[in-house]
Structures are given as C-alpha cells and as structure tokens.
C-alpha cells in the first residue's frame, strides 16, 4: 500500500462547504488529491475550493436529495478527470424532536438528505467504480447509527440505515475491487447543532432547551474538532476499515452497548429529561 493513497486521486466530498466535510476537503487537498467540494451552499463550497492551494479543487453546487443532479456531478467529474477514486457521502442536517411532535415532512427531510443522499451518491458512483475496478465509497453515518438516539430518532433511523447499507454493500463490493466504509463519529464541533431544526412545542425557546441538552451531554470543549475528525476518517479509509468510529470514548460506548445495552440507558434517559426540561 502506498504511504499516501490520496496523492493524484480524484475525490468528491458532499457537504464539503462546512464542518467535517470542509476539513476532509482541506486534508485531501493537502494530500495531493483533486477535490470536488460539493454542497447546497454555493458560496461556501467556492470559498473552501478557492482556499485549497494548488488549483486542484473545484466547487460544485449540489443538493444530494436530487438524484439526477448527483449522477450528473459524478459523471461530469469522471469525464473531466478520467476517474473517481473516492466519494465521501457526508452532507447532513440535524433535527432535534420527539417523535410525538414530528410530522411526516420532518421524517422526509431527514431521510431525504441523509439516507437518499447516500443512496444517490452510491448508485451514481458504484457502477463507475465497478467499471474502473477500483474506488472507495465513504458514507458518513454517526454513533447515532449504532446506538439509540432519543430526541434524534429520525436522524438515528437514517444513520442506522446508512450503516446497514454500507456494511452490506462492502461485502458485495469487496471481490469486485470497490471499497466501502462507514464513518460513525461521536460529537464533533461543527455548525450542525446551531443549524439544527428544533421542535419542542411545550417550550417558548426550543433552541435554548436543545442547547442546554447538548451542553449537558457534552460541553463544546470536549467535542472533537473537525480537522482531527477528518484525520481520523482518512486514517480509517487508508486502512480500509469497514466501520470508522471515533473518538475513543465513542468507540468505548459502542462496545459497552454491545456487551450490555442497559449500561447506556441512563445517558439516553438524561438526554430525554434535559430535552423535556425535567430536572
Ligand atoms: N458534528 C457532529 O457531531 C457529527 C456527529 C456524527 C455525524 N455527523 C455527520 O457528519 C456529517 C457532516 O456534518 P457536520 O457536523 O460537518 O455539519 P455541518 O452543518 O458543519 O456541515 C454539513 C454540510 O452539509 C451541507 N448540506 C446540508 N444539506 C445538504 C444537501 N441537501 N445537499 C448538499 N449539501 C448539504 C451543508 O450545507 C453543510 O455544508 C453529517 O452527515 C452529520 O450527520 C456529525
């Protein structure tokens, strides 16, 4: 295996304008990859691409809920660069809500961006990677894709599905030369929380309740920063890990949950209590 498997490769990163996606674009750029920074946020994607030295990055406006648009971007990238080595299906949004307060529209929005976003990316890139005989699809789920996520049930549903999709496809794809990994981070300091839709009709200031809930679960200073998260992801990709789980305490929580699920029940209960505003 080459010491730097990203050198002279071609990568698409969805949700590349911010947070973990942005850090991934910057890290891939540093490692010598040509990066397509794809995001629904047009100016943000352009800023990230322009800031990557060497002129190898380009911005693309993309809404991952639009399957045809995803396919067009993947095909255009391969036409222009002759190959696609990595697709990072990373775009995401958050919704904090109890199911009793959610509408079908809430469910659709979360499943569209997360699950259908990943399906659109996978179905566009996988046939091309099969033809090439190489390529690596890296899907961002979350630790909420491995553990229960009360108050984030739609998000957790989508992320569990992304884990299932990725690990199943990994089996199918391995002998055909294509790699598939799924990333399950714990808390990472990004803007996803301040951008989250919060539904808590029993409170005047649902955003404040959500923030208090989040601060109780993990203070911002204990969250991993995006640059370190991107390094952890690329280290896992380099080693062709199926499941990429970080930081260490998140990995530990997952192991404890597998050994004895009730061990994590107090954490789930305290998250719910904080969101409901109970002492
Ligand atoms: N931050 C965390 O603690 C954390 C933990 C686990 C998993 N994740 C996952 O990591 C991924 C990146 O999140 P982040 O924390 O960097 O958040 P972020 O809000 O900083 O970045 C998300 C990016 O996705 C883009 N995006 C949203 N909807 C899109 C769409 N329909 N099409 C294209 N782009 C779209 C946004 O414009 C934004 O640039 C998400 O999938 C998220 O669920 C984050």
Distance CA(157)–CA(164), nearest Å, equals: 11
Pick the more confident residue, 248 or 277.
248
Give which of 72, 78, 148, 68 is closest to 116, Cα–Cα.
68
How do residues 45-69 score in pLDDT, each as one tens digit? 999 999 999 889 999 999 999 999 9
**Structural domain boundaries in the chain:** 10-276
Read off the pLDDT of residues 228-266 as tens digits, 9 standing for 90 and up: 999 999 999 999 999 999 999 999 999 999 999 999 899
Q: Which of 13, 194, 211 is nearest to 117 (CA)?
A: 13
Q: If pLDDT is split at 50, 70 and 90, which confidence band does 166 have?
A: very high
Helix (H, G, I), strand (E, B) or coil at 151: coil
Interacting residues of 161 by C-beta distance below 8 A, sequence separation 6+: 115, 145
CATH architecture of 10-276: 3-Layer(aba) Sandwich (3.40)
What are 83-110's pLDDT values in tens digits? Answer: 999 999 999 999 999 999 999 999 999 9
Closest CA to 98 of 142, 143, 153: 153
> Could you tell me if the CB of 190 is within 6 A of ligand 1?
yes
Residue whose CA is closest, atom 8 of ligand 1? 142
Ligand 1 atom nearest residue 91's Cα: 24
Look up 86 and say whether it is catalytic: no
């Amino acid at each position: 295996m080459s010491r730097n498997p990203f050198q002279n490769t071609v990568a698409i990163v969805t949700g590349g304008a911010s947070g973990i996606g942005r850090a991934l674009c910057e890290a891939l750029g540093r490692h010598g990859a040509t990066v397509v920074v794809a995001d629904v946020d047009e100016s943000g994607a352009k800023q990230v691409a322009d800031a990557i030295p060497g002129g190898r990055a380009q911005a693309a406006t993309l809404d991952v809920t639009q399957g045809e648009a995803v396919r067009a971007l993947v095909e255009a990238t391969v036409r222009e660069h002759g190959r696609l080595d990595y697709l990072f299906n990373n775009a995401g949004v958050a919704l904090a809500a109890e199911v009793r307060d959610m509408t079908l529209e809430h469910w659709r929005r979360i499943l569209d961006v997360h699950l259908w976003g990943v399906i659109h990316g996978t179905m566009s890139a996988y046939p091309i990677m099969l033809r090439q005989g190489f390529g690596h699809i890296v899907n961002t789920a979350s630790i909420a894709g491995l553990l229960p996520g009360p108050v984030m049930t739609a998000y957790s549903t989508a992320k569990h599905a992304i884990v299932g999709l990725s690990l199943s496809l990994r089996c199918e794809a391995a002998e055909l030369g294509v790699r598939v990994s799924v990333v399950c981070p714990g808390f990472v300091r990004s803007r996803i929380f301040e951008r989250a839709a919060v539904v808590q009709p029993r409170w005047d200031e649902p955003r404040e309740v959500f923030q208090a809930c989040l601060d109780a679960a993990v203070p911002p200073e204990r969250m991993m920063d995006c640059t370190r998260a991107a390094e952890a992801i690329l280290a896992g990709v380099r080693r062709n890990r199926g499941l990429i789980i970080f930081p260490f305490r998140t990995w530990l929580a997952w192991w404890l949950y597998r050994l004895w699920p009730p061990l994590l029940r107090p954490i789930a209960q305290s998250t719910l209590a904080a969101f409901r505003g109970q002492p």
